[in-house]
Amino acid sequence: MHPSQGLECFDPALFKVYQTLVQALANVNDPEIRPFFDLDFAKRPPEELFHLPSDPDQIRNVASDPKFSQNPSKLKTRVRNWMSKTNDPHAQNPLENSFEIHRSHGTPPKNSK
């Protein structure tokens, strides 16, 4: 068998993802890598709010920042109304949706700010 036989189904993009994950795990305690690791793998907080003009990639959660502590119930009502208007499946009964079956929130990572 030639060494290249059997590699026609090899997906280089998938291998790159695997290499990136292995590298992230190997450097998980590096202060420059940890924030990105936490963004991908830490439990999500129960509420998230992002200031899109200054954070278009939605990296910094400002839900607990006093500067953005408007009326949370007003914001929740606006989101629920938008979800209903756009027929978001979570708007009907969030507990019946597969996204909510598993606990998806917890304490934020120690280094998140």
| CA–CA separation, 49 and 65 (whole Å) | 9
The pTM of this model reads: 0.51
Number of H helices and E strands in the chain, helices first, is 3, 0
Measured CA to CA in angstroms, residue 74 lies from 40, 69, 77 at distances of 29, 11, 5
Domains of the chain, by residue range, sit at 42-100
User: pLDDT of 30-78, one tens digit each?
Assistant: 998 888 888 778 887 878 888 899 999 888 889 888 888 777 788 888 8
Structure tokens at 3: 């060494």
∠ CA(16), CA(19), CA(24), 5° rounding?
Answer: 125
Can you give the C-alpha Rg of the chain in angstroms? 20
What does the block give as tokens for 101?
A: 């079956």
Q: Is-contact 37 24, C-beta < 8 A?
A: yes
* Strongest mean pLDDT among 7-11, 37-41, 83-87: 83-87
Q: What is the pLDDT of residue 106?
A: 57
